[in-house]
């Protein structure tokens, strides 16, 4: 059965997936890049090097999951952060190079997508968006919806539509300074947790009551700043005192509820999807509820960086008969 090999090499994870044309996930491996204790991330060159070390093993395991390597009918890669002409991060070139090599070796097409599109499509896999008659994960062509991209480096609200094998996505709200993920990571690292620190803080928030809160985040037409709250929180948190953590998550819960309600009303949408690494938070999933308004979450496993959404988009491109994009992707890598 035809399969698509998906590859995503972000600044946080190395990810490889194999997806069959019937929608079954044959293989999925996605692991965080190692960050030195006390640090809040990696330089692009470091991340690129780590992906280069890992990808041969991941590719070996991916092909080992197949009955026959001839089942790979195409390759899909994330090659830039957003689907914009000027969008570029060197770290994605590691996956792009690997994808082009496999495509050439097997003589199969290769398709390129943005990392953000991968997040959007991965979220669709588990929220029942098959509104286009059984096509791979939906939603139906042209449907308008809000997508909250909540990751380590990004807090954006996007007004999205599916356009063939891609998604159009315009930014309609979000942070003007640091992201929610940066707020959590900086607070968590200061408290002595490894980077990325979100999951450790999430466990604390779930296990204790709110004893105090940072000031409420003020929003302006869907936009907001978090640096003031960061200053407050970092004055309060130490390895010996993490009592502010539940209050911090309560503050973020109220912010996301307010954003969802306001922007869905402004743009007339009836579908809101939240994904990205921060969206794996069990605290947020439990508490970000808006009466009369449905908010959907991708699975916790697929909320963070992964290659599953990229593979799904690649399968959609393959099934539509789209030609290989090898020439354009090779030109992108050269520049």
- Tokens 């960050």 belong to 35
Q: Which of 62, 68, 58, 73 is nearest to 22 (CA)?
A: 73
pLDDT above 70 covers a percentage of the chain that reads 98
CA distance 136 to 20: 11
Provide the pLDDT confidence category of residue 294 given band limits of 50, 70 and 90.
confident
- Tokens 């968006």 belong to 129
Sorted by sequence, the CB contacts under 8 Å of residue 64 that are 6+ apart come out as: none
pLDDT above 90 covers a percentage of the chain that reads 73
Output the 3-class SS for 124-161.
Answer: HCCCCCCCCCCCCCCCCCCCEEEEEEECCCCEEEEEEE
Compute the radius of gyration of the chain from its Cα atoms. 20
Q: Is it the case that residue 174 has pLDDT exceeding 80?
A: yes
Helix (H, G, I), strand (E, B) or coil at 233: helix
Q: Is it the case that residue 164 has pLDDT exceeding 70?
A: yes
CA distance 306 to 10: 9
CA distance 40 to 51: 18
Cα dist. 109→92, 241, 245, 262 in Å?
19, 54, 48, 42
* pTM of the entire predicted model: 0.89
Domains of the chain: 3-126+303-334 (3.30.420.40), 172-297 (3.30.420.40)
Least confident of 31-40, 183-192, 301-310: 31-40
Q: Cα-Cα-Cα-Cα dihedral of 176, 181, 187, 190, to 10°?
A: -120
| Average pLDDT estimate for 255-260 | 96
Q: Is it the case that residue 134 has pLDDT exceeding 50?
A: no
Provide the pLDDT confidence category of residue 135 given band limits of 50, 70 and 90.
low
Provide the pLDDT confidence category of residue 131 given band limits of 50, 70 and 90.
very low
Average pLDDT over all residues of the chain: 91
Q: Is it the case that residue 133 has pLDDT exceeding 50?
A: no
Q: Which of 205, 206, 230 is nearest to 217 (CA)?
A: 230
Q: Is the peptide bond before 196 cis (omega within 30 degrees of 0)?
A: yes
pLDDT one-digit tens code per residue, 18-52:
999 988 999 999 998 888 877 777 889 999 999 99
pLDDT one-digit tens code per residue, 149-161:
998 888 999 999 9
Q: Which of 217, 293, 22 is nearest to 136 (CA)?
A: 22
The angle formed by the CA atoms of residues 218, 219 and 220, to the nearest 5 degrees, is: 130
* Residue 128 confidence (pLDDT): 60
Helix, strand, coil abundance in the chain, percent, nearest 5: 40, 25, 35
Q: Would you state the structure tokens that stand for residue 141, as one six-digit string?
A: 């062509």
């Amino acid at each position: 059965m035809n399969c698509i090999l998906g590859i995503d090499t972000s600044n946080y994870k190395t990810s490889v997936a194999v997806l069959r044309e019937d929608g079954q996930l044959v293989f999925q491996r996605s692991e965080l890049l190692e960050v030195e204790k006390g640090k809040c991330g990696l330089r692009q060159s470091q991340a690129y090097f780590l992906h280069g070390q890992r990808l041969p093993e991941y590719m070996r395991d991916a092909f080992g999951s197949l009955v026959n390597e001839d089942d790979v009918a195409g390759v899909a890669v994330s090659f830039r952060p957003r689907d914009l002409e000027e969008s570029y991060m060197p770290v994605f070139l590691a996956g792009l190079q690997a994808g082009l090599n496999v495509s050439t070796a097997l003589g199969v097409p290769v398709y390129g997508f943005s990392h953000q599109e991968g997040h959007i499509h991965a979220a669709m896999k588990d929220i029942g968006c098959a509104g286009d008659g059984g096509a791979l994960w939906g939603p139906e062509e042209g449907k308008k919806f809000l997508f909250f991209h909540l990751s380590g480096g990004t807090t954006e609200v996007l007004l999205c539509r599916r356009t063939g094998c891609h998604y159009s996505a315009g930014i309609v709200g979000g942070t003007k300074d640091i992201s929610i993920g940066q707020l959590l990571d900086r607070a968590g690292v200061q408290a002595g947790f490894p980077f990325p620190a979100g999951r450790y803080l999430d466990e604390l928030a779930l296990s204790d009551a709110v004893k105090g809160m940072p000031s409420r985040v003020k929003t302006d037409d869907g936009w907001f700043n978090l640096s003031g709250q960061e200053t407050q929180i970092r004055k309060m948190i130490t390895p010996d005192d993490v009592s502010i953590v539940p209050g911090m998550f309560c503050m973020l819960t109220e912010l996301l509820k307010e954003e969802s309600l306001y922007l869905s009303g402004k743009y007339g949408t009836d579908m809101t999807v939240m994904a990205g690494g921060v969206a794996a938070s069990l605290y947020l999933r439990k508490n970000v509820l808006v009466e009369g308004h449905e908010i959907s979450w991708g699975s916790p496993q697929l909320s963070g960086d992964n290659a599953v959404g990229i593979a799904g988009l690649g399968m959609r491109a393959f099934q539509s008969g789209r030609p290989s994009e090898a020439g354009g992707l090779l030109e992108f890598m050269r520049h």
